[in-house]
Amino acid sequence: MGMRYRQYLHGARIYGCSQCKTHLATIHSMISRAFNGQHGRAYLFEVVVNVIEGEPADRQMTTGNHTVRDIYCVKCGTTLGWKYDRAYEPSQKYKEGKFILERNLLVDVQ
Amino acid sequence: MRLTDADGFQEPSSYDSGPEAGPSSFGLDGVVGRPMGITNGHGASTNGYSNGTSGPGCGPHQPSHTRKASSSSIARVNLPGTTLYDDTFVDREEFVRLVIQSLRDVGYIESAATLEAESGYTMETSEVSKFRQYVLDGAWEQAETMLVRLGVSDEEGLWEVRFLISQQKYLELLEEENTTAALHVLRNEIAPLDVDPDQLHSLSSLMMCTDVADLRQRAGWDGVSGSSRRRLLSHLQQYIPSSLMIPPRRLSTLLGHSLQYQRANCLYHNAPLSLTSPNPKSSFTLYADHQCDKDKCFPRVTTTILEGHVDEVWAIEWSHCGRRLASAGSDRCAVIWRIGPETDSSIRTYSAEHVLRDHTFPVGYLAWSLDDSVLLTASEHTIKMWNTKTGMHIRALDAHNDTVTSLAWLPDGSGFISGGLDRKIILWDADGKQRDTWGTTSIRVTDLAITPDFTRVVAVGMHYLASLPSSGGNGRGESVTPPTGGGGAHPHNATNGSTGSENRMIIYDLATKQTEASIRLDGELTSVKISYDSQFALINQAPDEIHLWDLSTGRIARKFTGQRQGRHVIRSCFGGIDGNFIVSGSEDGNVYVWHRDTGTLLEVLTGHGAGSVNSVTWNPMNERMFASCSDDNTIRIWEAPEVQEPILTSEQDLEETAGKGKGKSRERWDGEGGSNPRPAPL
C-alpha cells in the first residue's frame, strides 16, 4: 500500500481521535448531530479522513436496514464509528457514502 | 599574421620578426614560462623564447647561423583558399597559429619555426612579443605605449589597463620598500584615475604593512618573483584583440570545450573524465568521440535481492563508506546490512548485521551520521539513535508531537536537524541534545535537506493555514471543507481542494534560520534532495512529477516525468559519477532513471513486485551501484552487468565454481530466463 502521511484538516473546528489526536473531520463537513452510536450521541459527516474501513455488514438500525463498515483510526486503530455503504429505505438514501463518528471518541484538535 | 610577400622568408633582414615571438604560455602557476630571457641566438634580441623549456638547438649559446640555416631551407607552401579544408569553416591561418602556439608551449621550438616558415603564418608580431616582455620585465611605460599600438583604444579599456599597470607598479615599489616612489605612484598615477574611493583606500592602507609577507598577504598578491606579472599580463591581454595576441593555451582550451560537449551528450555518462588534471582512468581520447558504454557503466541489472523485512520497505540509505545499507519500513524494524568488499557481484556477501527493533510504529526515515557510527530512525513522533557497531539503542528523542518526517545531519557532523508534521524543525547536537529550534514553521514538513555547502535548509511540506473564524463569505459554497495538505491525493476532494490544499518549498538560511524563499507548489511534496554542488533541489511532486529547482534563482530548472506518484511517499535521488542521473521510485513498481541535464528518460527498470518502489539511494562510494526498496518487502541492489577490471576474469572463473557452493550465484540477474535471484536471508 506504500507509505502515506496522515491528512491534516483546517477549519474553525477540527475533530480528532481522542486516543491519538489524528485529524478526522471538520465542523464544516458535519451534516447532522442527531444520531446515536454505541457510546451515545454521534455525528454524521460528509467527509472523514485518516480512517481505515472494515468489511461491509448489514445492520438493522432504528431507521431500517443498512450496509455499513466500521471505521478505525489509521494511526491507533480505535474504532470510531461507521460508514454507510447502502441504505435500504429510500428515505435514508442520503446517508450513503457518509460517515458516523461517535462524539465520545472525538476531541477538538488543531 | 600572414607575412606579406615583401617579408619573404628567405630575406634574413625581415626574418627576425618571426622567431622573436615570445612565449605563448604563461601559466598562472608560474611553472611554465619563467622569464628566463633566453636569446634565441639572435645576438641583439633580448626577448626570445621563455617557455622555460629550451629545446634542442635553441639554447642561449647556440650559434645563430644554425637556426637560420635550417629555416632557410624550408620552402614556403602556397595553398589556395583560406580554410583548413575546402568544406570546413576552420580558418587555416587561425588553426596554424594555434598549432604553432602549442608547439612552442611544449618546447618544440624548431618545429614551430619550421611551420611558420612553411606556412608563412607567424604566431604573433614582434610587437606582441615585445609587449609581453615589457610586462614581464616591468618596463611599464613601454608596455603602456605598446598597448595603444596593439589596439587598446576605447576610453574604458585604456582606463582599466592604466589602473592595472599602476597598481602593479605601486605594489612592486612597496615590495622594494621604496615607499616614497610608491606614494608618488599612488598620488600621481592612481589617484587621478578617479578610482573607487574604497579601492583607493585599501590600496593606500597597504603602506602600513609591516613587512613584505604582510603586504603580499593583505594585497592577495605574490610579488615580482611570483606570478603577479603573469597575472597582470593575462588581465591586460583581455583588452588586446585575440587575433593579435592569442589567448594562452588556446588549442587546449578548445579541446576542453569539445570534451565538455561530448560529456554533455553522453547520456549514460558514468566514467571518470577529468578536464583539468591528468587521470589515468580517464576514458577521453582525441581519437574518438567519447561515449560511455551503458552496459559497462550503468547499473541496470539487479545483482542481489535483500529479503528479511516482513512488510513494506519505505526507507533506504547507504552509509557514507558505501559498505553498509540501512533499510526500514512498516514492519517497525530498521535493518543494517553489511555488503562484502568483493567487486564481483556474483561472489559478494551480504549480511543483516543488526536488526533495530523496539519501534512502536513503522519507521519512515533513516540518517547515517557523518562517521557512520550513529544511525537515526524516525518512527511517528519519536527519533531513535542507534549505535551502528553494536546495534544498541542509544536514546530516544521525544521533542516532536507529530510524525517526524525527515532527518538530516549537518555537513560537519556536529549535529542534525529533524522536521515533522507538527511544523517543527529542531536542531540537535550529535549526542541528541536539543541545540536550537526553528519554532513553529508555516509548513507541516514532509522532507528537508541541508545543502552540502552548509548554507541552506530546504524544507517541503503542507502549508499550514491557521483556522479562520467563520466570518463573512467563509461559509459560501463550502458545505464541505476539504482536507488540506494531502487532499490532492483524493480525487473527490479536488473540487474544493484547490483553495485549501497548499504545498510549499521553503529555503532557509541555515545560520540565521531566516526564510530566503517560500514558493508555493501544486501537489503533495514527498522528497527533497540537494545536488552535490548545492545549487539544485530535487523534489518529488505528486501527481507524477519530479522537479529540479535552481535554489539561487528560485526557478524550476528541469522536470522529470514518467514515474507514477499519486498517494504515496515516493523518494528520489541524484546518482552517477557527476550526479548526472536522477533516480526515483514509482507507484507502478518500477525504478525510473533520467539524464539530469536533458531530462531524457533513460531507463525504466523492472523487477520489484506489486506495489510501490518507495525509495532509492545511490552508493556514495561506487558510482555504478544503487539500491531500491519496495512494498514487495525487498531491497534490490542494481549494478552494471559487467565486472570492470579485466584482471578479475580469471579469478572470476575460479570463483564461479566455488561460489555455487556458497549459495551465491551469478544468475541473480533478473530478466534472464526463469532464474530467480536468490534472496539473502535476514
pLDDT digits (tens, 9 = 90+) for B383-412: 999 999 999 999 999 999 999 999 999 999
pLDDT at residue B273, rounded to an integer:
67
Q: Is residue A79 part of a domain?
A: yes
Q: Is residue A4 part of a domain?
A: no
Q: Is residue A56 part of a domain?
A: yes
Assigned C-alpha cell, B485: 495538505
Q: Is residue A9 part of a domain?
A: no
Give chain B's length: 682
**Residue in A closest to B480 by C-alpha:** A29
Q: State whether residue A49 sits within 8 Å of chain B by CB.
A: yes
Residue B266 has pLDDT above 50, yes or no: yes
Distance CA B613, CA B636 (A): 10
Across B185-193, average pLDDT: 89
Residues of A in contact with B568 (CB under 8 A): 1-4
Q: Do A10 and B614 touch (CB under 8 A)?
A: no
Q: Do B469 and A12 touch (CB under 8 A)?
A: yes
Residue B674 has pLDDT above 80, yes or no: no
Residue B494 has pLDDT above 90, yes or no: no
Which of A1, A10, A15, A52 to mutate to probe the B interface, most B CBs <10 Å?
A10
Q: State whether residue A110 sits within 8 Å of chain B by CB.
A: yes
What does the buried/exposed string (b/e) look like for B158-194 if buried means 16 or more CB atoms within 10 Å of the residue's CB?
eebbbbbbbbbbbbbbbbeeeeeebeebbeebbeeee
Residue B416 has pLDDT above 50, yes or no: yes
B381 Cβ contact partners less than 8 Å away, ≥ 6 residues apart = B398, B400, B401, B402, B403, B404, B420, B422
- Strands B679-680 and B301-306 come out as parallel
pLDDT in tens, B141-177: 999 889 888 888 888 888 889 999 999 999 999 999 8
Q: Do B484 and A8 touch (CB under 8 A)?
A: yes
Residues of B in contact with A27 (CB under 8 A): 481
What does the buried/exposed string (b/e) look like for B23-52 if buried means 16 or more CB atoms within 10 Å of the residue's CB?
bbbbbeebebbebeebbbbeeebebbbbbb
ipTM of the modeled complex: 0.85
Q: Do A6 and B470 touch (CB under 8 A)?
A: no
The model carries a pTM of 0.75
Q: Mind telling me how many Å the CA of A62 is from chain B's nearest CA?
A: 27
Give chain A's length: 110
B647 Cβ contact partners less than 8 Å away, ≥ 6 residues apart = none
Distance CA A37, CA A59 (A): 13
The stretches of B209-366 forming alpha helices (DSSP H) are 212-219, 228-237, 250-264, 294-297
Tell which wins on pLDDT, B649 or B456: B456
Distance CA A70, CA A78 (A): 10
Domain that includes residue A49, residue range: 14-109
| Average pLDDT of chain B, as a whole number | 81
Q: What is the dihedral of CA B163, B166, B167, B173, to 10 degrees?
A: 180
Question: What are the beta bridge partners of residue B509?
Answer: B456
Q: Mind telling me how many Å the CA of B410 is from chain A's nearest CA?
A: 25
- Starting from the edge strand earliest in sequence, which strands make up the sheet with A51-61, in order? A30-37, A40-45, A99-102, A79-87, A64-73, A51-61
Among the listed residues B44, B70, B43, B73, the one whose alpha carbon sits nearest the alpha carbon of residue B57: B70
Q: State whether residue A30 sits within 8 Å of chain B by CB.
A: no
Q: Do A10 and B481 touch (CB under 8 A)?
A: yes
pLDDT in tens, B508-530: 999 999 999 999 998 999 999 99
pLDDT at residue B280, rounded to an integer:
55
Residue A68 has pLDDT above 90, yes or no: yes
Q: Is residue A63 part of a domain?
A: yes
Q: Is residue A39 part of a domain?
A: yes
Distance CA B474, CA B208 (A): 70
pLDDT at residue B464, rounded to an integer:
65
pLDDT in tens, B552-594: 999 999 999 999 999 899 999 999 988 999 999 999 999 999 9
* Residues B603/B300, Cβ–Cβ less than 8 Å: yes
| Total number of domains in chain A | 1
DSSP sequence for B176-228: TT-HHHHHHHIIIIIGGGT--HHHHHHHHHGGG-SSHHHHHHHHT---TTTTH
Distance CA B391, CA B387 (A): 5
* Residues B406/B398, Cβ–Cβ less than 8 Å: no
Distance CA B60, CA B78 (A): 33
Name the E strands within A1-63. 14-17, 23-26, 30-37, 40-45, 51-61
Q: Mind telling me how many Å the CA of A30 is from chain B's nearest CA?
A: 8
Residue among A10, A13, A46 whose CB faces B465 most closely: A10
Structural domains of chain B ordered from first start = 1-52+61-124 (no CATH), 131-237 (no CATH), 298-667 (2.130.10.10)
Distance CA A2, CA B82 (A): 67
CATH of the domain at A100: 2.170.150.20
